[in-house]
Amino acid sequence: MQSLRGQVAVVTGASRGIGKGVALGLGEAGATVYVTGRTVEPNSGPDGLPGSITETAAAVTALGGRGVPFYCDHRNDQETEVVFSRILGECSKIDVLVNAVWGGYERMVEGGAYTWNRPFWHQPYWRWDSMFAAGVRAHYVSSAIAARFMVARKTGLIVNISYWAGQKYMGNTAYGVAMAATDRLTAYTAHELRDFNVAVVALYPGLARTEAMLRFADKVDLSSSESPQFSGRAVVGMATDPKILDKTGRAFAVADLAREYGFADVDGKQPRPVQVADAWVIDPLATGR
């Protein structure tokens, strides 16, 4: 794996899930990783999920990087501005920004009923708002702040965590529209940043063994699954790619990048690339996949 020692990365929404995995991947490459999120104390996450920014930061340091936790509710623009100001006050630069924060997955079961896979006219309105406020808009704001400093230095990489649902209906309208918006955000910000040598890429994880997914381990075939850290290794590959501008504005599956850059998952396996036709639907209770 290429070294990112001396590089500064910010990973939003890194208490758990793909965000945590990305932070760990960057940490094992030696980067200084600022970990943001809302969960500070262990075992206090939404729906009782484990993970916290303090635990992620400690794991980053244990892997050889430098992990620094910062509380931030990215639905609040002022909090986001303050966090980035503190980071830049300490380091004076941001080399890599990974937008992994996301909302809308909370409370899939409401009143004893599983609501995620209902048609849009039976969906709770809060789910749409959360997908955009704690997802698309949060990515937009963080990107805008980081871009100001990347443009000034004429270097940088922004990665937006997305998924195939932006290209194919996958069980929830709000989710699909939000992912499509993330992919468009990637394409259009890349267009504006290209002349400043700043790349923007959307990253599609496969079926990842996140804390939330492992709750459904008895209902889902995990034989071709990925660790969340696999996504982090993909970000390292892009961050050390001298021709990364050739990829700017486009979306890439983690497993495809693994084959291109020559890295394996943490267990030494090479998960198969997932394409839009067979992309996993986030609906384990309904599909069994």
Catalytic sites, residue numbers:
175
The C-alpha atoms of residue 274 and residue 281 are separated, in whole angstroms, by: 12
Give the H or E element holding residue 12.
strand 8-12
CA-based max dimension of the chain: 52
Q: Give 238-245 contacts, CB < 8 A, sequence gap 24+.
A: 238/157, 238/159, 238/199, 238/201, 239/2, 239/4, 239/7, 239/9, 239/26, 239/29, 239/95, 239/96, 239/157, 240/2, 240/3, 240/4, 240/29, 244/157, 244/199, 244/201, 245/194, 245/197, 245/199
* Residue 200 dihedral angles phi and psi, to the nearest 5°: -130, 125
The C-alpha atoms of residue 249 and residue 176 are separated, in whole angstroms, by: 19
Q: CA dist 141 to 26, 39, 82, 176, Å?
A: 22, 20, 12, 21
* Residue 159 dihedral angles phi and psi, to the nearest 5°: -120, 125
Select from 20, 25, 49, 51 the least CA-distant residue to 35.
20
Structure tokens at 53: 């920014």
